C-alpha cells in the first residue's frame, strides 16, 4: 500500500517510530562523542591560531590611519553603512508590498550560495547579501592599512579572511537552506547521520576534529591504489627502496630515482594506472626506483636533516648504483624532497662525488624569501609553539600538518566537506586524490625544527649557509643539469618563488617548465587527460615576470616534454632490468610495507 493510501494514523505511527529510533541513536552517539572528546590530548595553544599581536598590529595600524586620514576611514564607514541601510529599506519595502521576494541583488556570484533559495527567498537572500557586504567591508578595511609591515599585513589579510569565511551563513544549520531542506526530506535522519559522521571523525583523530574528505573504505593501498608492479629491494630505518618491473624490452641505461616528500606518502605518483607517473615512466623505458619513507613515531625524535640526507638520499643513490651497476643516476625531488635533494646535490658537488647525472624538481622551494600563503604559519608564534610541542611528543603530528594545509583552502577542504558530512549527513566521496590527502605522515621533531628554522625562517640554503654533514652549502653549489616544474596556481610552493630559487643554481644547463593548475593536479597531469597545458621559455629569463611574458604556451601535459629531456640524459638503451640482484633480493612486493604502517599514537 502506498504511503498516500495509508490511514493518517499509520503515517503518524511510522513517523513516531522513526523519531524514537533517532532519539535512541542520538543518545548513543552523544555518549560516544563525550568519550571521544575525552581522549583529546592537550596541545600547545600556539598550534591553534596566531598570537594576539597579529590583530593588535592591525588595530594599531587602523587607529593610526584613522588619526592621519580620517576622511578615508569615514568614507569607508559611510559607504558600508549606506549599503547596509539601503539593503534593509529595500527589503522592508518588499514586505510592505506583501510580496514574498527579495530586493534587488547586486552582490557577486559565490558558489557557496548555489541553492536557489539564496536568490529567491527574502530571508536567505537578506542574509547572503548582508554577509557579502560585511565581507567586502572587512576586505577593504584590511586592504587600506598603510602603517603596517608588509609581512604583518599579509598575515592580517589571511587570518581576517579566515574569520570572514568561518562566519558564512552556509556554515550554520539554521541559516543553510540545503541542510534544512535535507532534514525535512529525511524526517531528521540526515541530522542523526551527520552526528554519526562527526563522532566518527573525532574518534578517528583521538579527540581532534579533522573532516574525512574521502571514503576510507573505498580504497586500499596495493589493491586499487599504488598498483604498478615492482618490489622492495632495500630497506633501512628511514625508507624502503622500490624498483618497478619493466614493461619494455629495452630501457635507458641510466636509472631514475624519485624522492617524494615525506610529509605525504609516495603513491600520489601512483594513484591508479590512468594517472600514474611511475607507470608512465616505466612504459617510456626508464628503470624507475622510488623511495617510500618511514612514517616516524616518537622513537625518531632525534632524526634530523642530516639523517635524511645520509641514511635516505645518499644511501638510496648508492643502492640504485649498486643494483644497476651504473656510476651515475638521474634524480627527482618533489616539494620538500626537492629542497632536500638540493642540499644533497650541493654536498655531493663539494665532496667531488659525481653520482648524480641530472636532477628534476617538482614544485620545489629553495629560496624561502617569499614562501607564499604558507608563510603566515612560519612566524615565531606558530614555530615556537611547534618547537615546544615536538619537544614533548617527539614528532610533529600529521593532524597539525593536515589542518594547516587544509586552511590554505578552507572553503574547499574544511567548510564545504563539513557541511556535507555533518549537516547533510552525506558519506564522503570515493575520490582517490582526497584519500591520499588524508593519509598523512608525522615528522621527526628535530627534522621539523631544523626545516622550519634553518630553511623557512632563516633562508640559509639561498644564503649559502645551511649546514650539511658539517659543512655549509648553497644553491650555487649545484652545478649539474637541472629541470624544474612549477605550477601556476600552487598555494604551497608559489611558482615565482620556485623560479627565483631555480635562477640561483650554479648549473649551466637549466630548464624551467610552468604547468597549469596547482601543487598536485599540475604534477599528476597525464597526457591521456589532455587537461592542463604548460609554458616554456627558450630565452634566459632573469625574473618570473620576464619568463611569463616571453613564454610559449603548449596544450597538454608537460610529461612528454620532460620525458624527452630526461631521455637525452639517460644514455643508450640496454636490455630491461628486473628488480634487485643477488645482493638485493625482493623483500616485499610494491608498494611495500612502510606505506601502510600507521605509528601508534
Q: In the chain, where are the structural domains located?
A: 49-171, 230-571
- Beta bridge partners of residue 468, listed in sequence order: 471
Query: In the block, which residue shows the cell 608564534?
Result: 381
Alpha carbon 48 to its chain centroid, in Å, reads 18
**pLDDT, average across residues 136-157:** 87
Which has the minimum average pLDDT: 41-45, 107-111, 178-182, 191-195?
41-45
pLDDT tens track for 105-143: 888 899 999 999 999 999 999 999 999 999 999 998 888
Q: Return the C-alpha cell found at 554.
A: 603548449
pLDDT of residue 397 exceeding 70: yes
| Separation of alpha carbons 53 and 100, rounded Å | 47
| Catalytic choice (335, 456, 483, 487) | 335
Give the end-to-end CA distance of the chain in Å, rounded to a whole number: 53
Structural contact between residues 330 and 358, judged by C-beta atoms closer than 8 angstroms: yes
For 122, other C-beta atoms within 10 Å of its C-beta total: 16
Is the pLDDT at 65 greater than 70, yes or no? no
Q: How far is CA 124 from the centre of its chain?
A: 33
How far, in Å, CA of 274 to CA of 225, rounded?
11
Report d(CA 304, CA 323) in Å as an integer. 27
What is the reported pLDDT for 9?
60
What's the chain's Rg over C-alpha atoms?
27
Report d(CA 551, CA 327) in Å as an integer: 36
- Whether 293 shows a pLDDT value over 50: the answer reads yes
**Separation between Cα atoms, residue 296 and residue 594, nearest integer Å:** 10
Grid coordinates belonging to 494: 608559489
Range in 3-12, 153-162, 313-322, 379-388 the model is least confident about:
3-12
Let me know how many helices (H) and strands (E) the chain has, helices first.
22, 17
CB 569 within 8 A of CB 481: yes
**456 a catalytic residue:** no
CATH 3.40.50.1820 assigned to 230-571? yes
For 583-593, give one letter per residue: b (16+ CB within 10 A) or e: ebeebeebbbe
pLDDT reading at 432 higher than 60: yes
Q: Look at residue 83 and tell me whether its pLDDT is greater than 90.
A: no
Cell numbers given for 412: 574547499
pLDDT digits (tens, 9 = 90+) for 335-367: 999 999 999 999 999 999 999 999 999 999 999
Number of CB atoms found within 10 A of residue 380's CB: 13
Q: What are the phi and psi torsion angles at 331 (to 5°)?
A: -130, 150
pLDDT(3) > 50: no
Residue 301 CB neighbour total at 10 angstroms: 16
The DSSP bridge pattern shows strands 288-293 and 588-589 to be: unpaired
Q: Which of 84-88, 286-290, 343-347, 504-508 has the lowest mean pLDDT?
A: 84-88
The yes-or-no verdict on residue 1 having pLDDT over 50 is: no
Residue 388 has pLDDT above 70, yes or no: yes
CB 523 within 8 A of CB 334: yes
| Average pLDDT in the chain | 91
Report the percent of the chain where pLDDT is more than 90.
69
Query: At 394, is the pLDDT very low, low, confident or very high (cuts 50, 70, 90)?
Result: very high
The helix, strand and coil proportions of the chain, stated in percent and rounded to the nearest 5, come to 50, 10, 35
Helices assigned H by DSSP within 334-428: 336-350, 380-393, 398-407, 410, 416-418
Share of the chain above pLDDT 70, in %: 94
CA–CA–CA angle 59, 60, 65 (5° rounding):
95
Residues whose CB is less than 8 angstroms from the CB of residue 469 and which lie 6 or more positions away in sequence, other chains included: 306, 309, 310, 347
Q: According to the model, what pLDDT value does residue 219 have?
A: 95
User: How far apart are alpha carbons 269 and 228 in whole angstroms?
Assistant: 10
Angle between helical axes of 8-37 and 189-204 (0-180°, round to 10): 20
Residue 601 clears pLDDT 60, i.e. is over it:
no
CB of 573 closer than 8 Å to CB of 211: no
Express each pLDDT in 568-596 by its tens digit. 999 999 999 999 999 999 999 999 999 99
Mean of pLDDT values over 34-47: 84
* Cβ contacts of 4 within 8 Å, gap of 6 or more: none
Of the candidates 392, 416, 393, the one whose C-alpha atom is nearest the C-alpha of residue 406 is 416
Task: Say which residue the cell 598536485 belongs to.
Answer: 520
Residue among 480, 458, 246 nearest 342 (CA): 480
pLDDT score, position 62: 66
Asked if residue 421 has a cis previous peptide bond (ω within 30° of 0), the answer is: no
Q: How far is CA 225 from CA 18, 98, 278, in A?
A: 39, 59, 12
* Count of other CB atoms within 10 angstroms of residue 33: 17
H helix or E strand, kind and range, residue 537: none
Residue in the structure block whose three cell numbers are 600514474? 276
In order of 148, 475, 500, 550, the CA distances from 493 in angstroms are: 25, 17, 12, 22
Instruction: Report the distance separating Cα 441 and Cα 444, nearest Å.
Output: 10
pLDDT beyond 60 at 6: no
CA-based max dimension of the chain: 90
Residue 248 in contact with residue 601, Cβ under 8 Å?
no
Please say if the pLDDT value at position 482 is more than 90. Answer: yes
Q: At what angle do helices 53-68 and 150-166 cross, to 10 degrees?
A: 110
Strand 239-244, strand 230-235: pairing = antiparallel
Residues 6 or more apart whose CB falls under 8 angstroms from that of 517 comprise 487, 488, 489, 525, 531, 532
Confidence category of residue 2, pLDDT binned at 50, 70, 90 = very low
CB atoms within 10 A of CB 279: 22
Cα–Cα dist 431/216, whole Å? 10
Amino acid at each position: 500500500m502506498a504511503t498516500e493510501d495509508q490511514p493518517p494514523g499509520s503515517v503518524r505511527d511510522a513517523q513516531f517510530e522513526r523519531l524514537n529510533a533517532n532519539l535512541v541513536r542520538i543518545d548513543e552517539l552523544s555518549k560516544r562523542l563525550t568519550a571521544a572528546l575525552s581522549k583529546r590530548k592537550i596541545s600547545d595553544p600556539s598550534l591553534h591560531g596566531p598570537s594576539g599581536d597579529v590583530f593588535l598590529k592591525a588595530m594599531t595600524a587602523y587607529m593610526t590611519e584613522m588619526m592621519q586620514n580620517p576622511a578615508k576611514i569615514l568614507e569607508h564607514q559611510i559607504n558600508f553603512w549606506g549599503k547596509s541601510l539601503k539593503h534593509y529599506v529595500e527589503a522592508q519595502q518588499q514586505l510592505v508590498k506583501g510580496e514574498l521576494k527579495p530586493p534587488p541583488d547586486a552582490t557577486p556570484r559565490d558558489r557557496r550560495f548555489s541553492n536557489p533559495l539564496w536568490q529567491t527567498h527574502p530571508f536567505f537572500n537578506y542574509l547572503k547579501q548582508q554577509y557579502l557586504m560585511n565581507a567586502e567591508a572587512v576586505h577593504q578595511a584590511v586592504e587600506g592599512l598603510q602603517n603596517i609591515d608588509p609581512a604583518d599585513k599579509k598575515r592580517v589579510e589571511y587570518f581576517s579572511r579566515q574569520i570572514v569565511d568561518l562566519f558564512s551563513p552556509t556554515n550554520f544549520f539554521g541559516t543553510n537552506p540545503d541542510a534544512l531542506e535535507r532534514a525535512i526530506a529525511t524526517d531528521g535522519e540526515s541530522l542523526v547521520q551527520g552526528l554519526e559522521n562527526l563522532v566518527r571523525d573525532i574518534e578517528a583523530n583521538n579527540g581532534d576534529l579533522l573532516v574525512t574528505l574521502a571514503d576510507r573504505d573505498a580504497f586500499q593501498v596495493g589493491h586499487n591504489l599504488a598498483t604498478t608492479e615492482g618490489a622492495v629491494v632495500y630497506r633501512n630505518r628511514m625508507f624502503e627502496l622500490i624498483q618497478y618491473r619493466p614493461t619494455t624490452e629495452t630501457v635507458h641505461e641510466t636509472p631514475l630515482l624519485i624522492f617524494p616528500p615525506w610529509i605525504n606518502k609516495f603513491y600520489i605518483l601512483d594513484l591508479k594506472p590512468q594517472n600514474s607517473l611511475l607507470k608512465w615512466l616505466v612504459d617510456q623505458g626508464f628503470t624507475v626506483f622510488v623511495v617510500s619513507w618511514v612514517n616516524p613515531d616518537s622513537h625518531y625524535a632525534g632524526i634530523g636533516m642530516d639523517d635524511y640526507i645520509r641514511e635516505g638520499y645518499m644511501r638510496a643513490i648508492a643502492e640504485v648504483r649498486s643494483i644497476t651497476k651504473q656510476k651515475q643516476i638521474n634524480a627527482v625531488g618533489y616539494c620538500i624532497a626537492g629542497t632536500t635533494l638540493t642540499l644533497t646535490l650541493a654536498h655531493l658537488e663539494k665532496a667531488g662525488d659525481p653520482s648524480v647525472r641530472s636532477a628534476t624538481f617538482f614544485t620545489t622551494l629553495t629560496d624561502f624569501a617569499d614562501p607564499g600563503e604558507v608563510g603566515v604559519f612560519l612566524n615565531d608564534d606558530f614555530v615556537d609553539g611547534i618547537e615546544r610541542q615536538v619537544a614533548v611528543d617527539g614528532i610533529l603530528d600529521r593532524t597539525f600538518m593536515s589542518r594547516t594545509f587544509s586552511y590554505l583552502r578552507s572553503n574547499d577542504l574544511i567548510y564545504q566537506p563539513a557541511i556535507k558530512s555533518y549537516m547533510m549527513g552525506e558519506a564522503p566521496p570515493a575520490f582517490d586524490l582526497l584519500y591520499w590527502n588524508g593519509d598523512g605522515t608525522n615528522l621527526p621533531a628535530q627534522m621539523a625544527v631544523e626545516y622550519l628554522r634553518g630553511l623557512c625562517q632563516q633562508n640559509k640554503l639561498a644564503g649559502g649557509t645551511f649546514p650539511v654533514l658539517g659543512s655549509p652549502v648553497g644553491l650555487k653549489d649545484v652545478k649539474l643539469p637541472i629541470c624544474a616544474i612549477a605550477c601556476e596556481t600552487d598555494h604551497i610552493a608559489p611558482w615565482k618563488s620556485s623560479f627565483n630559487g631555480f635562477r640561483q643554481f650554479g648549473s649551466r644547463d637549466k630548464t624551467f617548465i610552468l604547468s597549469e593548475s596547482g601543487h598536485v593536479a599540475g604534477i599528476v597531469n597525464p597526457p591521456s587527460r589532455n587537461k592542463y597545458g604548460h609554458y616554456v621559455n627558450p630565452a634566459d629569463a632573469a625574473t618570473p615576470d620576464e619568463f611569463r611574458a616571453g613564454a610559449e604556451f603548449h596544450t597538454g601535459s608537460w610529461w612528454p616534454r620532460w620525458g624527452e629531456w630526461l631521455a637525452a640524459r639517460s644514455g643508450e638503451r640496454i636490455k630491461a632490468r628486473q628488480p634487485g640482484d643477488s645482493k638485493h633480493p625482493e623483500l616485499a612486493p610494491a608498494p611495500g610495507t612502510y606505506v601502510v604502517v600507521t605509528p601508534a599514537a
